[in-house]
Structure 1
Amino acid sequence: MAENVLTVAKRDGKGKGPARRLRSQGLIPAVVYGRMSEPSHISVDPGLLLKAIETPHKLNTLLTLKLDGGEKHVLFKEYEVDPVTRKLLHADFLEVKLDQPVRVTVPVVTTGKAAGVAEGGILSIAAHDIVVEALPAKIPVRIEVDVTELKIGRSIHVSELKAPEGCKFKFATDYVVAFVAVPEKEEVVVPVAAAPGAAPAEGAAAAPAGGAAPAAGAAAPAAGAAPAAAKGAKPAEKGGKK
């Protein structure tokens, strides 16, 4: 792993006032946290800091801070940026020993094309990072996960992965890293035809059969009664003269 050197300076003042004065000088406040020592308050050039971590390891880049003639090996721990300008406002470092392992988060990258994707499945990444324990100089850039043999409905757990040389995966549960999901089928609604003789739907008028049905409430003609005269027809003449 490449090691980048960064020159920093001690700072005495704390709080918003001294921090503003530092930023007006083009510097930002920072803190170095040690495992067995008190935190060191320093100032650093944000431009040089960002340039120092422009490596494949990014935030996991091993840095050497030069301070008052001495050196400290550190990793970038946390930072704060302005929500509007996105400029770096504050940085925290973690002091490390080159012969002692540290825990860091390393990004996951998939390789190959999953067999299930060719069958219509959807490849999903459930874990985008993995916690790794390694010596500071052995921290990997990425964790490669080969998904070539992954079929529909199958998954890869963290316990199935092989850690890079000099590293260990740290996990409490055997979580899923990647899986191929079954594609969701689109539901097709097929209209159901009414069976012959079936009652019409509620509120629908029944189709007339062989002529219009009598109006609701109309009385049926009595048996043997003569049919009603057609509209406009002349009444039948009475019987002959007596």
Structure 2
Amino acid sequence: MSTPNYSFKAEIRTDLGKGASRRLRHEGKVPAILYGGDVAPVSLTLIHDKVNNAADHEGFYSSILTLNVGGEEIQTILKDMQRHPFKPKLVHLDFQRVSAKEEFTTRIPVHLLNEEHIQKEGGVVIRHETDIEISCLPKDLPESVEIDLEGFEVGDTVHLADIKLPEGVTSVELGRGEDHNLLIVAIAAQKTEEEEAEDAAADAEPADDSDEDNAE
């Protein structure tokens, strides 16, 4: 599966500290750091709105990102993003260098296909994991993996080992041992109206404090 080309111009920054970062944000820029490989970490600034717009796309988080720093194109992945607690603003970005010849680890989303089939069959899709950790070369990085639920029935499950990964891509968790075969998706039976009513009634019941009152 091909991935979009995400490319951003970045400038090296030498004015560090909280005050400098606040000034950058007022200028429409976002501070960042680039690390990894045999090169010392570098503090950068990027145009806030360009990165923020790209961050609206799921593929941004699981793609190779190109940073143009002083005319040099550097291949990276996003390792961390800090957002403002209530404003639609980015606060800080962490990028990690990747080498075309070296495998790296990252997380990619899991997409489910034909969920409507499960509903028609009286089932409910319960997602236990929304993404998985993988290892691969940059050229083999998939934007996501898919699980087709066509033909699944109530009681069926999908574990990590059941997912067919693209060639050149391996699961980090499975590499840690058989006991790391995570449950990804389970198909459960839909609750009847009576069961839903019983659950609602149970949630509405006040806590029984009689024992606590008697102890006083």
Q: After superposition, give the CA deviation of every residue in 1:136-161 in whole Å (9 maximum; x if it has no partner).
A: 23221221112223222221111111
Deviates more, 1:165-174 or 1:154-163: 165-174
> Compared with structure 1, are the counterparts of its residues 114 and 174 closer, same or farther at alpha carbon in structure 2 (3 Å cutoff)?
farther
Deviations 1:5-45 (A, max 9, x none): 32211111221111122222222211001132221011111
Structure 2 equivalent of residue 133 of structure 1 = 135
TM-score scaled by structure 1?
0.69
Cα–Cα, structure 1 residues 10 and 149, in superposed 2: closer, same or farther, change >3 Å? same
* Cα pair 1:114 1:149 within 8 Å, conserved: no
Tell me what 1:61 maps to.
63
* Deviations, residues 165-211 of structure 1 (Å, cap 9, x unaligned): 3311221411111111134453699xxxxxxxxxxxxxxxxxxxxxx
Distance 2:116 2:9 in 1: 47
Q: How far off its partner does 1:113 sit?
A: 4.9
Q: Distance in 1 between matches of 2:130 and 2:140?
A: 20
Partner residue, 1:161? 163
Aligned length: 189
* Among 95, 98, 105, the residue aligned to 1:96: 98
1:175 lines up with 2:182 in the alignment: yes
Determine the structure 1 residue equivalent to 2:37: 35
Q: Identify if the C-alpha distance between structure 1 residues 62 and 102 changes in structure 2 by more than 3 Å, giving closer, same or farther.
A: same
Greater C-alpha Rg: 1
State the Cα RMSD in Å.
2.5
Cα distance in 2 for partners of 1:103, 1:95 equals: 12
- Corresponding residue SS for 1:8: strand
| Matching residue's letter, 2:114 | G
Q: 1:117 Cα deviation (Å)?
A: 4.4
How does the TM-score come out when normalised to structure 2? 0.76
Q: Distance in 1 between matches of 2:48 and 2:159?
A: 39
For 1:28 and 1:122, the matched residues in 2 are separated by 42
For the residue of structure 2 that corresponds to 1:140, the secondary structure is: coil
| Separation in 2, partners of 1:62, 1:53 | 13
Over 3 Å counting, the alpha-carbon distance change for 1:33 and 1:153 in structure 2 is same
CA contact (8 A) 1:53 1:61 kept: no
Q: Is the 8 A contact 2:33 2:95 kept in 1?
A: yes
Q: Residues 134, 53 of structure 1: CA spacing in aligned structure 2 closer, same or farther, 3 A cutoff?
A: farther
Query: Conserved in 1, the CA contact under 8 Å of 2:126 and 2:188?
Result: yes
TM-aligned CA deviation for residue 84 of structure 1: 2.4
CA distance in 2, matches of 1:62, 1:70: 15
SS for the counterpart of 2:165 is coil
Which has the larger share of helix? 2
Give unmatched runs, 5+ long, in structure 1.
Answer: 190-242
Amino acid at match of 1:40: V
Deviation at 1:163, TM superposition (A): 0.5
Residue aligned with 2:20, SS? helix
Identity over the aligned pairs, expressed in percent? Answer: 26
Q: Decide which structure has greater strand share.
A: 2
